[in-house]
Amino acid sequence: MKNRLKVLRAMRDWSQQDLADRLEVSRQSVNAIETGRYDPSLPLAFRIADVFEMPIEEIFERD
């Protein structure tokens, strides 16, 4: 899966730590997801969608 986390984060001028705090996960998780080392769980994907106020499909893409 590809994702637009880095761009969406940049648009809001949030650091990885800022986003991690909002998602209540570790900064390393945000980094790993952004750099494509692994995909988030479904519950975390929903929280990401909540934080960015967008549907999951607009944040993640099949690759």
Residues that bind DNA (CB under 7 A): 6, 9, 15-17, 24-29, 31-35, 37-44
R_g of the chain computed on alpha carbons: 10
Under rule CB under 8 A, residue 24 binds a second copy: no
Under rule CB under 8 A, residue 62 binds a second copy: yes
**For a second copy, the closer CB: 13 or 57:** 57
Which one of a second copy, DNA, none is in contact with 15 (Cβ closer than 5 to 8 A by kind)? DNA
For residue 45, the number of C-alpha atoms closer than 13 Å in the C-beta half-sphere is: 16
* Distance (Å, whole) CA 14 – CA 61: 22
